[in-house]
Structure 1
Amino acid sequence: MLTGRTFALVGVAAIAALGLAACTAQPQSTPAASSSAFTDVPGLDQTALDVMNQPAYANGQWAISVQDIDTGEQIVSLNADTFYEPGSIVKTYSIGAAWQQFGPDSTVVTPVKSTGQVIDGTLTGDLVLVGQGDLTMGGRTKPDGTVDFTNLDHNDANGVPGATLTTEDPLTGLNDLAAQVKASGITTVSGDVIVDDRLWDPAELVGEPITPIIINQNVIDLTTTPGAVGEPSTTAMSPQVAPWTVDNRVTTVAAGERTGIQATSTDQKTIVLTGQIAADAGPTVSVFAFDDPATFARTAFIEALGRAGVTVTADPVATNPEGALPDTAAVSALPAVAELTSLPFLEEATYTMKISYNRGAQTFICRLAVASGSTDCDDGLGQAGEVWSKAGLDTTQAVLIDGSGLPGNVITANSEVQLQSIMAKRPDAEEWRSTLPGLGVDGSLAKVQADTPSAGKVVGKTGTLASVDGFNDERYFLPAKALGGYIETEGGRHFAFTIIATNSVFDDVQGVFAANDDVGKVAASIQQAY
């Protein structure tokens, strides 16, 4: 997601896990080699070195740690005990801690509470929708009960070309709750509809709210389709919730020209789309992240109630009247007239890992804070550290400032390997492994080494930090391009690994994808060599 001129991308991040204390022989880390070529790195073959010696990486460094999970043998150790920014590999720390705290089968229940009494179908009080941090609210559930996602998710649509949408209705959960309210005997609400998002204190990630109520990941999707050259484009908005409308000013330009669309709003009612779309671009997804998720959810829920046959007399587009709520203990004691059970944590983790959902990972940090008895999301990081320390991770080998992997987090390659090793020894290890993108298979690795023998044999969390070099004709600078997870080798061995390439430079945005593939090539080289 763009943050000024710097962004943390869908990317290639690595947190692998292997307990080094249990190892036998520990090879010495190869000294840092920035602008000099790699000629011999123990454990790596020439195909890996050729990738690492490309000009784009000449002024950066590589950090690699690979360890045999079964024997503890260190296979590769290159700058493996030095701190580097790993990008979204950090998500394995936040999600992994929540996984251990809550369990892969755990769920959260979002209730609708009622005040007052129901007389002849009329509720003489309020309906209260209590946010519990459900990441998808039924809006991404496939018929088989698993989570749906696209390999390039809408959350990254504004920063990376090619994002697509899933087919599910993002308002499904609200529609379900509304139908339950009607089935409870309520046909009219004479009071108000209020969203209670006080599960934790107000929190942000890069200026965007992290809230206990989440509808469509708290963004509005806008799919723009080109018209004839020189003519306006057309745009579809999803979900359609009052009072939001679209003012589409995007023009169609000749095939082959650059597509660039910006979504802005000055009044939190009208989204203004500006820019241009190439005639051959096809439907292009943009997103707008709204400022007030509680008010959006309130209006969306009132509209869902209307569709279910429940009349609400309150103004549907008014600001969420949170000040009218009783204290949280009193709300908890109110009777529930509807409940929505989230997808299992396994599915939430899968969605967050596969597409590298920044705000989702930070939501887990907030949920960890709540589990520790705090409403301050910052306390969730400390709770995550305690969870990992109890699991045997040397937490001093990571410095974390958030749960998503933004600039400022650092880890050692060995730390990620140790983490993945710990997870590999759990009884739910295969479920954990399934949440990670697969090389050439899905998520942020879907197109990486897809037509090679290593496809499907490497899984890992990707991580990317990138910014635009305005000093040198808009080059792209990547402080981090990383990958960490597991390798099933050609010879049947089981490795945990971390690969981090730092401070590489590319001529254009396609270099970001090239770097993703390069890190994948190094992993594939290791997979084939053993």
Structure 2
Amino acid sequence: MNAAVFLRRGATVAAVAALVLAGATACTTEAPTDPWAVDGLPDAALDVMNQDRYEHATWSIAVHDLETGEVLIDLGADRMVEPGSFAKSYSAGAAWLEWGPDHTITTPVKRTGEVTAGVLAGDLVLVGMGDLTMGGRTKDDGGVDFTNLDHNDANFLPGSTLTPQDPLSGLNELAAQVKASGIDSVVGDVVVDDRLFTGTLGGQAVTPTVINQNLVDVMVQPTEPGEPAGTTLTPAVSPWTVTSTVETVEAGGTTDITIDESSHDGEVVLSGTIAADSEPQLKVYAFDDPATFARTAFIEALGRADVAVAADPLATNPGTELAERAEVDTMPTVAELESLPLAEEVTYVMKISYNRGAQTLVCRLAVERGDSECDAGMPIAGEIWKDAGLDVTGAALIDGSGLEGNYVTPANALQIQTLMAQRPDAERWKATLPVLGVDGSLAMVGADGPAAGKVFAKTGTLLNWDAFNQRFRLATKTLGGVMETASGRDLAFTIIVTQGFFDDLDGILDANDDVGAVTAIIQQAF
């Protein structure tokens, strides 16, 4: 019998371990000296794993030494489990292997017709290329900016905030270049060419044109008790408005704000309450027509650059009127926007766990190999990893973001980190991962502990509602990456717990802390 244990805590973690160890020694004359131990796993970690909330949970752990390859912990490492957003390591990693961390893409603006005395007797065509940030998250030093609780999670996690950059910066830069090219007015139309690839993720379109992550942000500010709350819309693009019935209540009162189902493109509808002493609360709406949003935003940017456009800025994007894509590619270019390097895009995807960003990288892989269907990118990612030496049969993936339906073995997840750690650009890859107690999705985990700043790992979470018992079911909580141990060793690791149960959402944050605590205990033990 394999001494690795697939832990399902019906009695206790230790009890199951004892049964397996007993079976493993049935053909020998020697009994294990410690029937409660799991090879390599400190007892303190078992204390965390044996909490009541994990009574029906399964823990799987794989740890090995990056220098020697020595297996330090193997606890159900070969069993398939759902990794949640850790799957982004596979999609972002495939893009990294394919192009390298310095790779960039260029978003062009093309023109039809001729320019005479500053007048374009034709159209401007903004060609979407899958740039994840379009200049809207670029810091002064050229790196990508993010917040530890990013706006992508604003409707689920309180405390989400915005970066200070203007999400329309890239469009403003393109508009300025159009003006500098000698175009003062456009007689024809402005069109967004959104045909580079097509795909969906979780019921939402994954598109080649991405402005503000295809979200509108609404910041809700408290006023005086009994008065309507204040709201600020970002980015401010016509015809978008906010309809809010959010009321400010007394200090210490309930803050509970929702985006109503009646919201639709052009209007965000909010309801609820906000306490007078509350911090501003961020909510987001994912719009349904990114191409039309980008078209209006670009026409408004052209106006700010003193380029007049005759076409209706609020019309639906006339993408069906475009020439064939090959013909568009040959048209004169009047403006170009270079993306951030791939290392910065991957940093954004990994630090904040940006689902559609990860899937966009899969789409770009498909396009690289001549296919416009995003689904074609997943087998391509598999081929890339296989060529890199990964045992791809240890993973069964359906998307690049980590929604339900993806499965990996902890050992396979560990192998990914091992392969990346062997590359010349290993430190740059490691820098894209959230850091325990420092930033991204691990900023608040173990911040005061001795392992803070020593663990670099991708998180993963899948959460469901147990209507039968009116509680939350933690389908998956994952942490996988690399660590620098207390003794100076470099380890790769994966920790996955499935099927924990919690009374409220705060319990899910506790699960994040628990997996972080197990990681920190291992980091200190080796």
Q: Map 1:388-399; keep pairs closer than 5 Å.
A: 388-399=385-396
SS of 1:511's equivalent in the other structure is helix
Q: Following the alignment from structure 1 to structure 2, what is the Cα–Cα distance between the partners of residues 31 and 171?
A: 49
Shift of 1:260: 2.2
What is aligned with 2:5?
Answer: 30
Counterpart contact for 1:27–1:77, Cα < 8 Å: no
- Superposition pairs for residues 172-321 of structure 1, below 5 Å? 172-201=169-198, 203-264=199-260, 265-321=262-318
SS of corresponding position for 1:453: coil
RMSD (Å) for aligned C-alpha atoms? 1.2
The one of the two structures with greater contact order (alpha-carbon pairs below 8 A, sep at least 6) is 1
Partner Cα separation in structure 2 for residue 396 and residue 286 of structure 1: 40
Matched, 1:479 2:494: no
Write the distance in 1 (CA, Å) between the matches of 2:239 and 2:156: 26
SS of the residue corresponding to residue 41 of structure 1 reads: coil
User: Among 490, 497, 506, which residue is 2:493 paired with?
Assistant: 497
C-alpha contact 2:6 2:79 (8 A) present in aligned 1:
no
How much does 1:31 deviate? Answer: 4.1
2: CA distance, partners of 1:259 / 1:410: 37
Q: How big is each residue's C-alpha offset from its partner over 1:357-399, in whole Å with a ceiling of 9 and x where there is no partner?
A: 0000000110011011101100100000000000111111111
What is the Cα deviation at residue 35 of structure 1?
1.6
TM-score (norm 1): 0.93
Matches within 5 A, 1:102-113: 102-113=99-110
Amino acid at match of 1:215: I
CA 1:454/1:401 → structure 2, altered by over 3 Å: closer, same or farther? same
Structure 2 residue 121 is matched with structure 1 residue 146 = no
Q: In structure 2, what residue type is equivalent to 1:321?
A: P
Bigger CA drift: 260-269 or 341-350?
A: 260-269
1:324 deviates by 1.3
32-41 or 289-298, larger mean C-alpha shift: 32-41
- The 1:471–1:251 alpha-carbon spacing in structure 2 relative to 1, beyond 3 Å, is farther
What residue is the counterpart of 1:468 in the other structure?
465
Question: What is the CA-CA distance between 1:430 and the residue it aligns to?
Answer: 0.4
Is 2:352 the counterpart of 1:377? no
The residue aligned with 1:60 is: 57
Distance, in Å, in 2 between the alignment partners of 1:45 and 1:507 is 28
Give the C-alpha shift of residue 251 in structure 1. Answer: 1.4
Residue type at the aligned position of 2:504: D
- Tell me, which stretches of 5 or more residues in structure 1 are unaligned? 1-25
Distance 2:6 2:283 in 1: 44
Counterparts in 2 of 1:349-360, with a 5 A limit?
349-360=346-357
Q: Is the 8 A contact 1:64 1:499 kept in 2?
A: yes
Instruction: For residue 160 of structure 1, report the CA deviation from its aligned partner.
Output: 1.1
> Using the alignment, how far apart are the partners of 1:222 and 1:298 within structure 2?
21
1:310-459 matches, cutoff 5 A: 310-459=307-456
- Structure 2 counterpart of 1:326, one-letter code: A
- Counterpart amino acid of 1:142? K
- Distance in 2, matches of 1:323 and 1:131, equals 15
Once the two structures are TM-superposed, the CA of residue 280 in structure 1 deviates from its matched residue by: 2.4
Instruction: String of CA shifts for 1:2-33, please: whole Å, max 9, x gaps.
Output: xxxxxxxxxxxxxxxxxxxxxxxx98312433
Of 503, 506, 509, which residue of structure 1 is paired with 2:502?
506
Separation in 2, partners of 1:441, 1:255: 31
Find 1:116's aligned residue among 109, 113, 116.
Answer: 113
User: What's the CA shift for 1:266?
Assistant: 4.7
Q: Is the 8 A contact 1:448 1:516 kept in 2?
A: yes
Report deviation, 1:47: 1.4
2:168 corresponds to 1:171: yes
Partner of 2:31: none
The Cα shift of 1:469 comes to: 2.5
Q: Which amino acid aligns with 1:503?
A: Q
Q: SS in structure 2 opposite 1:82?
A: coil
Please tell me whether the aligned partners of residues 27 and 74 of structure 1 are also in contact (alpha carbons under 8 angstroms).
Answer: no
C-alpha distance 486-266 of structure 1, shift in aligned 2 (>3 A): closer
- Evaluate the alpha carbon distance shift between residue 511 and residue 236 of structure 1 in structure 2; reply closer, same or farther with a 3 A threshold: same
In the alignment, residue 484 of structure 1 is paired with which amino acid? G
How far has the Cα of 1:102 moved from its partner?
A: 1.3
Q: 1:515 aligns with which of 491, 511, 514?
A: 511
> 1:262 Cα deviation (Å)?
2.0
| Amino acid aligned to 1:183 | A
Give the whole-Å Cα distance in 1 for the aligned partners of 2:422 and 2:472: 39
| Deviation, structure 1 residue 199 | 0.3
CA distance in 2: counterparts of 1:45 and 1:318, whole angstroms: 63
8 A Cα contact 1:263 1:271, kept in partner: yes
Name the SS of the counterpart of 1:170 in structure 2. Answer: coil
Structure 1 stretch 248-257 or stretch 96-105: which is displaced more?
248-257
